[in-house]
Structure formats: C-alpha cells, structure tokens
Amino acid sequence: MPAVLDLFPCEPPPYNNARGYIEMIYNKAVECMPRKKMQELQLERLKRIVSYAYDNVPFYRRKLDEVKLRPEHIKTLDDIRLIPYTVKEEMRANYPYDLLAVPLKKIVRIHASSGTTGKPVIAGYTRADFEIWSESVARIIVAAGGREDDIVQISFGYGLFTGALGLHQGWERIGATVVPVSSGNTERQVMILKDLKVTALVSTPSYAMHIAETAERLGVKKEGLCLRLGLFGSEASTPEMHRALAEKLGVFPTENYGLTEIIGPGVSGECEEKAGMHIAEDYFYPEIMDAENNAPKPEGEYGELILTTLTKEGMPILRYRTKDITSITYEPCKCGRTSARMSRIKGRTDDMLKIRGVNVFPSQIESVILGMKEVGNHYEIHVQRKGYLDYLEIYVEVVDAGLLTNYARLEALREKVRGAIRTVLNLDVKVRLCEPNTLKRFEGKAKRVVDERNL
C-alpha cells in the first residue's frame, strides 16, 4: 500500500530526541577516569610533549631557552605555567612549516585556519594525529547523541577549514552515514535534508538558522524532516539560538568547540545534559588564565582558555592563547563523564567591544534579539564613532506583521529592543528596524560586528 507510506515521509523514529537512546560513552576508560588518574596521565604526557617539542621544534627550543627552562624542570602539572605562551602571531611568523616536529613526508594532511588578515595558520597532521583527532571528535558526537544509524549532513565548507573534515572523520569513525554536502546552495541543502532523510545536521548555528528559514520559505516543515540532532560549532552560540534552532528544525542542539591551531573540532563538546562542553583532557590540557597577568583563575571563574596539546606528533603546541573566554568546572557530570567541562564561549578577547567604558560581547546582544518574537534571528552590530565617543547601532529585521497597524507600534518595538539591551549591557544603543532578509546571511562563521569607525 504505497499510498499509506506517502503519509509518513520517513519511518517514525524510535526516539524523539537524543535522550531516547541508551546513554552511551565512546571511550569510558578515559572519559570517566578518576581525576587523580587523569592528572597522572596528563603529567606524564606533559613532560613527554615538552621535551618532544624542545628536541624537534627549533621555535620551542628558542622559546624555552630564552626563559632558561629545561624540559626536566616540569615536575608537576602546575609547572606548565613556567612555559611561555604561544600566540597566533608566532604561528603566522612560522608559516608555513616551521612549527612541524616531523619531516614533511610524515605529514599526511594540511589544514589551515580561516585567517581573514595576513597568512593563515597551517596545521600538519601525522597518521597518529588523525587517530587522536577522529577519536576526540567521535567522543563528542556520541556525547551529543550521535549513533551509527544516523545519516549526517555536513554543511560546513569543505577545504582547508578543519570543521568539515574533522566532523566527517568522527562520524565515519562511529560508523554513521555521512553526506558531505559542504556549505552553500541552501535550497539544495533543504532538499537533501528532506530527501535523504537526514537525522543529524552539522553546521555553524547561524547557517543552520539560514537553512531553517529557507526550509520555511520553501514550505518544508520540520515534521516532514527526520532531523533529530544538530551539532553546532565553529562559532559561539547562545542558549536562545539553540532554543530557536530546536524549535525551527526539531533538533536536539549541542555545541562543540575546537580550533585549527590545536587540532580543529574535537577539543570539547556538549553531552546530552548540556551542562558545559566536555574537554578531551587526555589530549588537550586546559588552563583558564588571566593571561595579561599570567595568573590562574579559580575553578568556575571566567578567563582566557589556554590549551596545550599533550599528544600531538605533527605540530605540538604549548600553552596556546585561544583568546576565547570561558570557565572550567571539574565536577563530574550527570552523564557519568568525569572530564573537565568548559562553559559556552562568552566571547573572544579580541571581539570584545569596549563602548564608552562598557565591555560588550556580541553574544549578549544576540541573547536579547533571539528572545524577541517580533524581530528575526539575524542581526548586525554597527560600531560608530562621533567625536571621541563610540556608539552601537543594532540592526534587526521586523518580522511581526501584527505591528503594521500603526507606526507607533513600530516605534514601541524599537524602544523595547533598546530597553532590553540597556538592561543587559547597561548601555544606550541605537536600534534600526530593517526589512526581513536584508541583513547579511552567513554560510560559515557569522560576522555580526561591522566597525564603521575607520580607526
């Protein structure tokens, strides 16, 4: 009776969201390791990677020699603070191959960061690095609820960017069906989501939003899709963004985190508890620092995330300043994992705006905008300067047709947005109401801040 089947575009899934499945942990031995044992493992690996970098990367030999540090001086985990930071500019200065610890013939793939200014940062991977990478991404996928019977659409741009191939390998590792769509051609994305009965979407949160809007416009409803999971990364997102995506696409949304300089995606990711991103601490040693003063932040306090690769063979990196602002807790998670969890990235030290003395993170503005039904999910933050003072103008799209009965209601909406932002930031901003679909959409990382100051 094919007519009956037509009523159900896909088989009713045996689950409604990630929780329906039996809780599973990809690598229980490591992910649930007692803290003391983890620290022993980390110390052993830290000692090894420091002497490995010292012996094989001239850049690190010089760096350690400069502060008269010898690898054998590392006796405890806290001794890591004796090592100077590595910063992005140094990685660029060593472009392309000077940070490699192995001959090029041992490198099996090159990736690069999406550098918008100057040279990109090159990352070289050996076979052993691939193992670590796939393993760490597989852990995140399983923690997010991914299973081998998932059909995964990877809507990250393939290429030098680590996001697409990183997630690709992880999903392949757990045996899922991977659909490498790449980014772009959003109408086709929707068609594939629907026709291939895709169950999991991998993309940036902003692109997922664009896909959802396009589906809406094409008349594709979430009930007509089989989506159940959304793995979002490569840019920070807010709980409001996740709620909106869950509602529009019918996915259980999780966030994951990583960076090319360290490995790509796989550094950390949320589990089904959504209580912070579990860090693969056996591979990547995290610190939260007040980097300016080289002072460690107490557990739970926000600071800059510093990462050290504990096992990387191709390109070991010691104490990389990520510029990402987060906090870490070592409390075991309800999911059973004992690994350290980092909170959502609150912002970056370099995209923090300082407006008339007030620290502003774009994520704070996003949480206000996404909490309002009258405006769309896309926005722009314009930074302007008048005289010596900086001002913000927030562009939002008016989507509530109910406001069109009279002009005063539009003015009232503008005041409402202004007021809500003032409450969060304690700062007066201008608000500009725009027509729908006129603000920029992004297929990769969203760039919401437009600096008009000509500094």
Partner 1 sequence: MVKQLSVFIENRPGRLYKITQLLSQHNIDLVMLSIADTKEFGILRIITSDIEKSFRVLKEAGYTVSITEMIGVEVPDRPGGLAEVLAVFDRCGISIEYLYSFARTSDKIAIILFRVEDSQSALEKLMEAKVKLTDRVL
Q: Name the residues that contact partner 1, by CB under 8 A.
A: 217, 398-407, 410, 432-438
Angle between helices 239-249 and 205-217 (to 10 degrees): 30
Closest CB to partner 1 among 387 and 402? 402
Closest CB to partner 1 among 23 and 393? 393
Closest CB to partner 1 among 179 and 431? 431
Cα(276)–Cα(335) distance, integer angstroms: 11
DSSP letter for each residue of 371-405: T-TTEEEEEEEEEEEETTEEEEEEEEEE--GGGGG
- Least separation, in Å, of the C-beta of 269 and partner 1? 34
Closest CB to partner 1 among 188 and 432? 432
As to burial, measured by CB atoms within 10 angstroms (0-12 exposed, 13-18 middle, 19+ buried), residue 304 is buried
Closest CB to partner 1 among 8 and 407? 407
- Least separation, in Å, of the C-beta of 401 and partner 1? 4
Tokens 């007021």 belong to: 419
- Least separation, in Å, of the C-beta of 455 and partner 1? 26
231 forms bridges with which residues in the sheet?
Answer: 202, 254
- Least separation, in Å, of the C-beta of 405 and partner 1? 7
CB-facing half-sphere around the CA of 330: CA atoms within 13 A: 13
Closest CB to partner 1 among 62 and 217? 217
- Least separation, in Å, of the C-beta of 370 and partner 1? 18
Tokens 């807790």 belong to: 329
- Least separation, in Å, of the C-beta of 404 and partner 1? 4
Answer for the pair 116, 124: CB distance below 8 angstroms, yes or no: no
Cα(233)–Cα(225) distance, integer angstroms: 22
Cα(407)–Cα(40) distance, integer angstroms: 66
Exposure string of 392-420, with b = 16+ CB inside 10 Å and e = fewer, is: bebbbbbeeeebeeeeeebeebbeebbeb
Closest CB to partner 1 among 383 and 403? 403
- Least separation, in Å, of the C-beta of 153 and partner 1? 24
**Which amino acid, residue 400?**
D
